[in-house]
Structure 1
């Protein structure tokens, strides 16, 4: 006689906010001849500016709500077919506002799927975290063995120019890169609670309020390591290479300075790895 397996208890549902929240989603699909398909659900929108000759097809993502707060969700799926290329850039910094005590975290989910021989730039502008915001952000990349990707994301703790600081909240920021179906890199930053105290520690952020991560994934990653090391100054920056991944990190007390370094690094690396212009699309400099 076979006995039925015990039924596991139902997973507790995430609390619902008492206020209206957004659930935006966008999908964009590129083939060798350009745009193949797209989908957009407010407040997520996609724009397609004109590009200079020789550049990848460009899509600019827009959050029309002007920012996100507790309980809001935003997702983006970028698909690039074999031998196709694309550059994906958010229109502006993403602002993550304070969450109410009973709100679930803000969720930002990005997926990038890359076919054989494809090339992609994902150059996110900074996410500015307001005090008592709670953010869970993920970047999941599934790429063919010979695909190539240059990706950058940045976090800023508080609006320093307005005299604001990030004292407490949740930061959960995770990257996953799979090549040929095999997980080759998993990286997560998780801080919950007294963020200011943790970030001030010498082995935390050592007083930095801006954090940059940039990754180039490609068969020739190791060839660009020495170049990358010239782009991010010590002691707050560095670069390493492993398993076809070039990883660049930087922290700093001045978000504008870190952003300038990020732009300059992206300019030089895109030219070196893709043969593109050393000037980024104009939207990056707004």
Structure 2
């Protein structure tokens, strides 16, 4: 039997301050709320004391961001899916963002160990007038330890209902996907980042977000393996392939800074945990 954990976070704005009510069961917690940008924006660090997800673990995170509030969630380190002994590990994130609120989902990377059997589901429900930024950085295997991801299966889904539904499976034996120039092209890191709204973005605003991301890509070490598109009027998506996590995170952080300024007129107050 693996760990079964459930964490519910309820963000609300009272007297110009965003606060969070958390309820947990099992090995999921948030640390003390931080306010490096003032009372309006609540920063939380999501921790999983066991340090990774193993065979049979089921972890569920539910986030409600109520009207007028602004929440930012990150993690203190990588999320690790370890070798499975038979049963898959499962992590789910369900987020509801109310009208006039903002949400930032900015975890550090997810690492798949060889022989992983796991699934990660993310669903973001945005009401009209709600906006969010999020990213996901997926790293295959442990290249520095000469442990490639050459066996195992991982399934991931990212869903913005009615706007964007992405579901993919990575099999360590699937060399056509992992080695082909039409797939991962031998890279071990895939970064995905998005800006989304609960309704169509005005065309000039969407173009500004695209331009900001493309300008950051043009000066990045990943400029030949990264790009930004908007296949739907409510979402802008950035993709990048890399051989290491660090340049991918550097690019995402730079785009995050630019999008924050462009979309919300906010400077980037980087969570302190990113520098530890």
8 Å contact 1:222–1:245 — kept in the other structure?
no
Tell me the CA shift for residue 203 of structure 1: 1.2
Aligned residue in 2 for 1:12? none
Structure 2 residue 50 is matched with structure 1 residue 50:
no
Q: 2:190 aligns with which of 189, 211, 214?
A: 211
Name the counterpart of 2:238: 248
Residue among 163, 183, 194 paired with 1:184: 163
Aligned to 1:9: none
1:169-203: CA deviation from partner (whole Å, max 9, x where unpaired): 1121111103xxxx111111212350456311111
Match of 1:239 in 2: 228
Most deviating of 227-236 and 117-126: 227-236
What's the CA shift string for 1:86-127, capped at 9, x where partnerless? Answer: 101122110110001xx2211110111010011110002111
Alignment partner of 1:40 is 2:42: no
Structure 2 equivalent of residue 138 of structure 1: 121
The one of 38, 62, 77 aligned to 2:62 = 77
Which residue does 2:140 correspond to in 1?
157
In the TM superposition, what is the alpha-carbon distance from 1:28 to its structure 2 partner?
0.6
SS at match of 1:230: helix
Match of 1:60 among 31, 37, 45: 45
Equivalent pair of 2:212/2:255 in contact (CA under 8 Å): no
CA distance in 2, matches of 1:271, 1:35: 23
- Gaps of at least 5 residues in structure 1 are 1-19
Alpha carbons 1:40, 1:46 under 8 Å: kept: no
Distance 1:44 1:135 in 2: 18
**CA 1:49 to 1:38, structure 2 compared with 1: closer, same or farther past 3 Å?**
closer
In 2, Cα distance between equivalents of 1:284 and 1:210: 19
Q: 1:222: Cα distance to partner?
A: 3.7
Inter-partner Cα distance in structure 2 for 1:263 and 1:196: 30
Deviation track 1:124-171 (CA, whole Å, cap 9, x = no partner) reads 211100001012111101111210100011100012222221111112
Distance 2:54 2:47 in 1: 16
RMSD of aligned C-alpha atoms? 1.7
Within 2, Cα distance between the matches of 1:106 and 1:118? 32
Instruction: Decide whether the 8 Å contact of 1:131 with 1:168 is kept in 2.
Output: yes
Q: Is the 8 A contact 2:141 2:147 kept in 1?
A: yes
TM-score, L = length of structure 1: 0.86
Structure 2 equivalent of residue 128 of structure 1 = 111
Give how far 1:49 is off: 4.0
